[in-house]
Structure formats: structure tokens, C-alpha cells
Amino acid sequence: MDYISHLDALSSEANANILATWSSYSNTERESDSLVEQLQTTLDVEKLLSIYLSAIAAQYKISSVELDTFHGKFKSGKRNKSSQTMTLPIRINDRLMGRISYFSEKPITDILMSSLTSHQKKLIYPLRNALAFWQLQQMALKDPLTGIGNRAMYDDAIEYKVQHASRFKETFVLMLLDLDNFKTVNDTHGHLMGDDILSGFVTLVKDCLRGTDQMFRFGGDEFTILLEKEGLNGAHIVAARIHHAISKNTTFNKYKVSTSIGCACFNENDTPNDLFARADKALYAAKDAGKNCMKIA
């Protein structure tokens, strides 16, 4: 009887262990399914990384993830100075999409790498879709000829700039640029030459700007520049650089192409339209003054 009771006890213990193991596996499986479902809820790359980080942060002590792709860099979370870094490639059918760097508060071990590699597989296809969508968005916001932002991107940028400057009591400058004599060159020498002039102008101007400044093609031979955290003194310096660069350019000299510039500095309570109207007024003043100069309004 004691022997039978002992067997019953062993059987009950074994069943309990099996149930516990099954329950643990079931919970892990449910968490995995839940992550897959969550990753399919967005086409925004940074939101996708945020969802992914939330799923792995607590378990693996990951404070930040950074995605480096051929299209751009994205990140979620904030790395700590003491974080240890581990980078894993992202591949689909042996084609490298990019790399993800993990910043962990735990020591990097083979077990940790294996676990994150397994989790990362759930991210691959949602990430591929999000990156494809991001590329389409970028194409819709870029001028195909020059590669700089188009009117739609300018509208987004100036809206953000005005809100940011108002909130943090900062300033910036809007510059409007119009090519002088461009229409004559385009009509006389053809659109291919016109395209070369436009592309060359963008290259020339970008060399006169800082990395934080932004340039947009507004349409035709009209361009806008947003000078980050600058006043009118900075605008004078940039305009002088641009005019000097054009004066030294063989092609622009040959076809007698120059640029007129209108500037306006952001004032408190300005709307995007207020700022543009002043810069546009200044541009007309530059044209009326004989072109190839800068005016301020």
C-alpha cells in the first residue's frame, strides 16, 4: 500500500512538472504570438522599433536599439554610458537589409545573442514592409532631379520649424532663391541644359550650407533654404558665399546665370505664411534692384 502511495505521489509530482512546463511553454508561445501581432500594427519604422524594444527590454535588460540600414538610421530608447553593445545583421533570403545594435545592461553572452537572434526573426518581415513604406514616403517628398526636398517636404519642415522656434524662443532664417536668366537658357539651349543648371546650382549652394541647414526646390527655378538657429547676420554670410561661388563657376558665367535672394528672419508669433510673405517681398525687391543680390524684409 505504501509502495502504491509512493507511486501515486511520484505520478502527481510528474504531472505537476509537466503542467508547469506546458504552462511556461504556452505563456512563451502566447508572448511570441502577441509580439508578432503587435509588430504588424504599424508601418512606421521608429514605432516598430519601439514595440520591439518594449517586448525585449525587461527580460534582457535592453535600454536601446539602433537600426542602421542602407536607407537611413533609426533608433528607440536611450542608451546608458555603462551599456554593453551587441550588433546583429538583418537578412532576408541571404540579402543584408542592415544591422541592429542592442545596448544591454547585462553582460553579452552567447545565450543572450542566441535569444535576441530568435526574437529578431519576428521583426524581419514587418521591418521590411515598414522600410519599403518609408522609401515611398521619401520619394514623395524629394525632388527627383536634384534630390533635395520638394514643396511638400518644405511645408512639413517650416511648420515644425515655426512650432519649435516658438516653443524654445529660438530664431531661424527663411531664404527664397530665384535663378536669374534661367528661362532664357532653358528656352535657348534646351531642357537638358536647364536640368544641368538646376542640379549644378543645388550642388553649389549645398556646399555653402551647414549640415543642419535645409534646402528645398519650390518649383521651376525657385528654391528655399531654412538656416538653423541663425539671424540676419548669418543670412548675409551665406548669401555672400553663394554669390561668390556662382561668380567663380564656369557654366554659370558662360550662360550668365545668377541668383536673387530674399530673406526673412522668424519673429515671435509668425506663421509659416507670414514668414514666407516677407521673404517673397524681399525676393521681389532683389529682382527690382537689378538681380544677383540679396534683400531682407
Which fold does the domain 24-141 belong to in CATH? Beta-Lactamase (3.30.450)
Q: Give every CB contact of residue 102 below 8 A, 6+ residues apart in sequence.
A: 60, 62, 64, 65, 85, 86, 87, 88, 116
Q: What digits encode the pLDDT tens for the residues 146-162?
A: 999 999 999 999 999 99
User: What does the pLDDT read at residue 147?
Assistant: 93
Crossing angle of helices 2-39 and 45-60, in 10° steps, is: 150
The CA-CA-CA angle for residues 183, 187, 192, to 5°, reads: 95
Largest CA distance in the chain: 114
Domain residue ranges in the chain: 24-141, 151-296
Question: Could you tell me if 260 and 286 are in contact, meaning their C-beta atoms sit under 8 angstroms apart?
Answer: yes
State how far the Cα of 225 lies from the Cα of 174, in Å rounded to an integer. Answer: 6
* pLDDT under 50: residue ranges of the chain: 1, 3-4, 6-7, 10-11, 14, 18-26, 28
Q: pLDDT (tens digit, 9 = 90+) per residue, 239-254? A: 999 999 999 999 999 9
**What is the pairing mode between strands 173-180 and 95-104?**
unpaired
- Identify the CATH class of 151-296: alpha beta
Residues 6+ apart with CB under 8 A from 198: 145, 146, 179, 182, 217, 221
What pLDDT, on a 0 to 100 scale, did the predictor assign at position 35? 82
DSSP state of 149: B
Q: How far is CA 21 from CA 28, 31, 118, 135, in A?
A: 11, 15, 20, 44
Give the pLDDT score at 19. 45
